[in-house]
Amino acid sequence: MVAEATHTPASPKSIAIAVPEGVKLPIFMDNHSTTAVDLRVVQAMLPFFTQHYGNAASRNHSFGWTAEAAVEHARAQVAALLGGDAKEIVWTSGATEANNLAIKGAASYLRRQGGHIITVETEHKAVLDTCKRLQREGFEVTYLTPAKDGLVTPEQVTAAMTDKTILVTIMLANNEIGVVQPIEAIGAAIKAKNPKTLFHTDAVQGFGKVPFDVEKARVDLASVTAHKLYGPKGIGALWVRRKPRVRIDPLIDGGGHERGMRSGTLPVPMIVGFGKAAELAREEMPAETVRLKALRDRLYRGLTSRLTEIYVNGSLEHRLPGNLNISFAFVEGESLLMALKDVAVSSGSACTSASLEPSYVLRALGVGDELAHTSIRFGIGRFNTEAEIDYVIELVVSAVVRLRQLSPLWEMHQDGIDLNSIQWTPH
């Protein structure tokens, strides 16, 4: 570690790191929040804005037929990526709507059969807040706590099931820590215990990134979205099993589109884009997984070989290839983001939100608040390069070293003081 200049008030100034050739700033390394639309996807979409702009529900002219054919082609493309049938795809505005439709729609339809729902504390807010609303309406919800590695076990799920359990909703991969749940084992366990209990998965982060098949996972409902997969924002889908037929109540009534489950004129260009993005993901996932994992491991090795006291949050093994969520002890996350101003990453620090509370996902894993405040999520995606990774390593190492020089906690730690022995003044 860099020795401190304690005798002079000379300060640890921030040092500029040279930008390597071929690296363009700013760098986007926040691919769990969203992704750039792949140019091949844009190309596929373009004709549907100005040329083939028909309403897919128009049955009596060629404009409508062309639009409908494109929508059905996209349906097949998206269904193929999750191992389902095209007829089982219900287009939505995105994954938040798909999660709402799955959970509220199933709860509403199955209300008389029981009022118990099971989910996990680390789910996305689109699931958690939906469950909370149902609780206010009288449903009972069990929130499972994952293990320290972020994973839930099939036994945990079945142990929570009662004869009133109508729905289990567990995500495929986590948006913060990238941990991939053993979704196939969980699905098998649920169905073994009660085939009638519906199994929904928010598959958004894992869809097209890790192998996922609705038959193997034995899910009944799966939420997906295009914009995490190099497709456009504003289009998602809920896959709804037809064999055996799963029934849900719609949230939006209207013209009876999407087999009555989601009315509203279909956004044909977005759907075409989603279809193309799914097709590309299906073709390229094997190679892309290898490449992203190599980049992620390069980042991990680059950081761990040069910095001490850094901790990966969640299982490194059961994780999305492009995810690295790491706590840099004694360095507050937002101050680190500030040093990385030309790199888009995100932090579990409270300071990045209005709530002043650190990430609930890290809390659920039992990561202490003091470490949660120091966490950074790197989301590596299709368009990131090795040169970018190397530059980000330099930036992060330099910033952490500098900010630790500024950190009283780091100094105390170096002096062998147990931070837990100090009477802090929470505010």
Amino acid at 111: R
At closest approach, how far in Å is the CB of 294 from other proteins? Answer: 33
Give the bridge partners for 201, in sequence order. Answer: 222
Name beta bridge partners: 116: 140, 165
User: What are residue 351's phi and psi, to 5 degrees?
Assistant: -65, -15
Size of the site for other proteins (CB under 8 A): 40
338 binds other proteins (CB under 8 A): yes
Nearer to other proteins by C-beta: 195 or 408? 408
- Interaction between residue 30 and other proteins (CB under 8 A): no
Vertex 416, ends 411 and 419: CA angle to 5°? 75
| Parallel, antiparallel or unpaired: strands 323-328 and 310-312 | antiparallel
Q: Quote the CA–CA distance of 274 and 95 in Å, as a whole number.
A: 13
State the minimum distance, in angstroms, from the CB of residue 12 to other proteins. 6
CA atoms 213, 219, 220, 223: torsion sign: negative
Among the residue ranges 58-66, 114-122, 142-150, 327-335, the one whose residues contact other proteins (CB under 8 A): 327-335
What is the footprint of other proteins within residues 368-427 (CB under 8 A)?
Answer: 368-370, 373, 405-411, 419, 422, 424-427
Residue 8: count other Cβ atoms within 10 Å of its Cβ.
6
* Nearer to other proteins among residue 169 and residue 407 (C-beta): 407
| Stretch binding other proteins (CB under 8 A), from 9-17, 141-149, 207-215, 295-303 | 9-17
Among residues 33 and 55, whose Cβ is nearest to other proteins? 33
CA distance 181 to 175: 12
- To the query of whether residue 351 is one of the catalytic residues in this protein, the response is yes
Cβ proximity to other proteins: between 138 and 408 the closer is 408
Q: Which of 7, 112, 243, 245 binds other proteins (CB under 8 A)?
A: 7
Question: Which two tokens mark 411?
Answer: 């100094």
DSSP state string for 217-269 = HT-SEEEEESTTTTS-TT-EEEEE-TTTTP----SS-SS-TGGGTS-S---HH
Candidates 17, 42, 316, 351; catalytic one: 351
Residue of 3, 39, 354, 416 that binds other proteins (CB under 8 A):
354
Min dist CB 419 to other proteins, Å, is: 6
Contact 226, 81 (CB under 8 A): no
Using CB under 8 A, pick the residue from 1, 2, 4, 49 that binds other proteins: 4
Residue 244 binds other proteins, judged by CB under 8 A = no
Choice between 16 and 39, CB closer to other proteins: 16
Exposure string (b/e) for 200-210, b if CB count within 10 Å is 16 or more? bbbbbbbbbbb
Question: Residue 55 or residue 352: which is nearer to other proteins going by CB?
Answer: 352
Stretches 28-36, 132-140, 168-176, 363-371: which one binds other proteins (CB under 8 A)?
363-371
For other proteins, which stretch binds (CB under 8 A), given 28-36, 45-53, 112-120, 328-336? 328-336
Q: Report in angstroms the alpha-carbon separations of 399 from 16, 167, 341, 351.
A: 10, 46, 11, 18
Selection from 85, 42, 63, 71 nearest residue 273 by Cα: 42
CB of 405 to other proteins, least distance (A): 7
Residues that bind other proteins (CB under 8 A): 4-7, 9, 11-14, 330-335, 338, 349-352, 354, 356, 358, 368-370, 373, 405-411, 419, 422, 424-427
Catalytic amino acids?
A: 351
